[in-house]
Amino acid sequence: VETTDEPDVLYKKIVLLCKGHEEAVLDSYEQFVSMAAKQLGLNLEKIHRPRRTYDRITMLRSIHVHKKAKVQYEIRTHYRVFHFKHLTGSTSNVFLEYVQRNLPEGVAMEVKKTAIEKLPDNLKPPETQSETAPVEAPQ
């Protein structure tokens, strides 16, 4: 076990977007992720299910002849969005590696992290009106 003096990264939120073509597979994976988060004591804020998207492709049934004979294919993409709040860098790394290693076939995952950082020294908070000029009382 290595110990370092540098502080751990803090994340305000982490959003996992999972895409797949089978809704049953995504339902099972949703249960897996929520159970893993519960066992690790992570703050799973909500699970969002955006509307599925449809991609329809129309092609000729016969390539060279019969131009009026066409076939249409439909590809449905289902989504699951997991919102996690207030995680440390080491906890998020362990959790994401565990979840990504158990990702089922045909499911894609996208991870968005929002880190909390210190303001640079050259930036200052805005001054209020009462701090800049003292208001004198009327006589």
Residue 139 is predicted with a pLDDT of 62
Residue 53 is predicted with a pLDDT of 97
Rg (CA), the chain: 25
What residue ranges of the chain have pLDDT lower than 70? Answer: 1, 130-139
- On whether the CB atoms of residues 21 and 104 are closer than 8 A, the answer is no
Q: How far apart are CA 109 and CA 111, in angstroms?
A: 7
Residue 39 is predicted with a pLDDT of 95
Residue 117 is predicted with a pLDDT of 85
- On whether the CB atoms of residues 114 and 9 are closer than 8 A, the answer is no
Q: Please name the residue that has the structure tokens 């800049």.
A: 132
Residue 135 is predicted with a pLDDT of 58
Residue 4 is predicted with a pLDDT of 72
Residue 116 is predicted with a pLDDT of 87
Q: How far apart are CA 80 and CA 48, in angstroms?
A: 6
Residue 87 is predicted with a pLDDT of 94
Specify the DSSP element, H or E, that contains 41: none
- On whether the CB atoms of residues 81 and 14 are closer than 8 A, the answer is no
- On whether the CB atoms of residues 70 and 60 are closer than 8 A, the answer is yes
Q: Please name the residue that has the structure tokens 């597979």.
A: 25
Q: Which residues contact 99 (CB under 8 A, 6 or more apart)?
A: 16, 32, 33, 36, 109
Domains and CATH numbers, the chain: 10-117 (3.30.70.600)
